[in-house]
Structure 1
């Protein structure tokens, strides 16, 4: 079944051009005009989708030809097109960066590209930049949004420099931008004025409605032959940590667990909530434990419950921040060391230099479980890895995967739909080397 919907992939020449700000502003503007808007994010990311979800009011899924896979990307886009007027896809890094790139994704599904340019230090040169973005691949370039524009005259110079390419919108320089920290944007829930800020940016995005309306719809069809997920976790309850310290979680992972038949319950270690007693297994996703290390170290009920679950051999999957909270100690961003739960021998130390970034895959007996790593901390441990991921596309050794009894822990963030049977084996305690 195919549905046609207006869809664009929002990309740029590089990171830092304002893609997330522009995509969020456009989503909020279209939603306020009465349109049903679905937003996607290209590549592995947690923070940008949170902001885009805040702007559009709908969950934001990931699209990536390697990590997610073409078939699942097609399924997600087709599902969105069935109940949306507009689909916005925010790209990753520059338009042609990565293997696969945002341009590859756009071409795979016939989605035109909307280029964001930082116009703050250029005028006519914008034309050369835009034509290069269009022709290098090439891609179907639907138009341009000029960010950080100084004046209406500045906008006219940019428009005149791009014959044949519509200037779909402009956004003035922002006195207050979306706040960031070491891993990227600050989580929307931490910003009291986030909706006011998004509304203001949406107001300041000057959209050429005539040029927008003439953009042709894109036909997005699902593959009806896709096999359903076998309910290998039917009858199992999985407890998932979910709060400001454990918030890096793909919505698709939750969908996958439900398709596998699991019942999901949530709890907050930050609020000193113990692991729910009915849980057959526990999932500790990534997040910012380094920002909440003192509270986590003092959450005695939470700590006792996770130790009890481990002693009872209930399977535990801990990713990145989840793993950090299960080590002996965690040194926070100020260098102060706090005791953690001690289920994985070692100390976590924050550093200013990025420790790992990029797509990775874990070869399991059930198949390759794909995902990524992105962290600034390092684990100092004498525990030998149970296995290692491989970096994509180089094939070089990636993150260590540790095993201690029923605990599986790593800096690796898994994208569950890439291999549901491997995920089921982890939560059933049957994962092999």
Structure 2
């Protein structure tokens, strides 16, 4: 299989009838099987999830990208897909929840179906057929009829009891629905994805899940027609580059017109921040914590910071590293700090570096796991308490029950290096910890967030610190990335003047 047309983007969306139907197993098995054929596979994930893209990256060997038309926009999604899929043999997009499940029960907003329509991608529907035969056809037919514009191109049936069971289900679906059943997976209780909050990323990085990925591929290849899947992938219409709006550029230009910036990402010698020419010797540097404890970053966020003129300096607190010297900002992403609380607490250089940065008014942005580390203490699931940075006057407690889940519109409560008061970033919240402040009445909240359950005050913003549980997507308002970099540059210039 080769790419003959640069506008051609062979692609499939692997969608499920609901959560637990088996789409992650099918996605990983398919990615691995295609890679074993020598194909270059680019992974994508519908929605805000961080874990599944980490799986994809481990299987394909290249970073997977999130596609979320609610957090960003349909134009942004098309642009992201067009750029990331270029030069690869096939793109595999994993869905989220059920095909039509999203933010709004009355529309496709935030759903896999929305991404399929936006990117004009054929859908492979994964159906769990345990304890059913012809009824499986009724399920597929219902999915077809709910939105006839959607191209449900084929079906993979999961958890079949036997080859005979598969034959019955296949005949029923193909007779009533007019689309091929391209394969099946037998019932396999040993092939299950581990719970999502128990340190999966460290396990992936150690290679512990490679046997699971290979087993998924082996099981898929036993009963699936890969050649037919490739035909369906190549049936996707070519992407018309003239119709793909470069949303990142368009939105950034609009924001730059407001802020007065005109950064040119093609320049090799200068950056332009707030109408000032700045040499790369003066380029602001943002330290980004990146290891098994801090690893939840949307690639778009990092790229938007770079496009705004920042240079990113990655470091690992778990490797004993402190805040790098001569940086002008800090980005602490989410992840699993509770799994490494002892190591983090033992890295006093790192914690002291955070405290010094806060005292010097360096722009410091932290979300979810990073937010937790800025507190005074962190108590893990076993009840052991560890000292953290102590920048935020609060204690963090892990719990077995999920504390929050869902999309958020985060409106800034006050002016900061990220947002002006009232400006909004969109994002997602998902955590098992709670943050308890010593004085609830005097909290300088960062955001007022809007979710399914209404409004709430969230996070912490004081001095040049902005922190909270919400994982924001800078693609929802690229002006925030530009403003962040401008504040880092101002910090650098003031620091250099004082030397």
The structure carrying a bigger strand percent of its residues is 1
Q: Is the 8 A contact 2:75 2:245 kept in 1?
A: no
Q: TM-score, normalised by structure 2?
A: 0.81
Pick which of 421-430 and 11-20 moved more.
Answer: 421-430
Q: Is the 8 A contact 1:360 1:398 kept in 2?
A: no
Equivalent runs, 1:19-418 vs 2, <5 Å: 19-99=23-103, 100=109, 101-138=111-148, 139-162=150-173, 163=175, 164-181=178-195, 183=197, 186-187=200-201, 188-205=203-220, 206-215=223-232, 216-222=235-241, 223=244, 226=247, 227=249, 229=252, 230-231=262-263, 232=273, 235-363=283-411, 364-365=419-420, 367-381=423-437, 382=439, 383-392=442-451, 396-398=454-456, 400-418=458-476
| CA shift for structure 1 position 183 | 2.8
Q: Identify unmatched segments of 5+ residues in structure 2.
A: 104-108, 253-261, 264-272, 412-418, 489-499
Deviations 1:32-83 (A, max 9, x none): 1122221110011101100011112221111111112111111112123431
d(CA) in 2 for partners of 1:224, 1:263: 26
In 2 relative to 1, CA 339–156 (structure 1 residues): closer, same or farther, beyond 3 Å?
A: same
| CA shift for structure 1 position 119 | 2.4
| CA shift for structure 1 position 427 | 4.9
Show structure 1 runs of 4+ deviating over 6 A.
none
d(CA) in 2 for partners of 1:322, 1:177: 32
In 2 relative to 1, CA 148–84 (structure 1 residues): closer, same or farther, beyond 3 Å?
A: same
In 2 relative to 1, CA 190–86 (structure 1 residues): closer, same or farther, beyond 3 Å?
A: closer
Partner SS for 1:4: coil
d(CA) in 2 for partners of 1:176, 1:250: 31
d(CA) in 2 for partners of 1:72, 1:150: 42
d(CA) in 2 for partners of 1:258, 1:31: 31
Pick which of 218-227 and 396-405 moved more.
Answer: 218-227
Count of aligned positions: 429
The structure carrying a bigger helix percent of its residues is 2
Partner SS for 1:54: helix
Pick which of 397-406 and 11-20 moved more.
Answer: 397-406
Partner SS for 1:240: strand
In 2 relative to 1, CA 32–137 (structure 1 residues): closer, same or farther, beyond 3 Å?
A: same
Partner SS for 1:74: helix
* Number of the residue aligned with 2:491: none
Q: Is the 8 A contact 1:37 1:88 kept in 2?
A: yes
Q: Identify unmatched segments of 5+ residues in structure 1.
A: none
Q: Is the 8 A contact 1:316 1:427 kept in 2?
A: no
| CA shift for structure 1 position 211 | 2.6
CA RMSD of aligned residues (A): 2.3
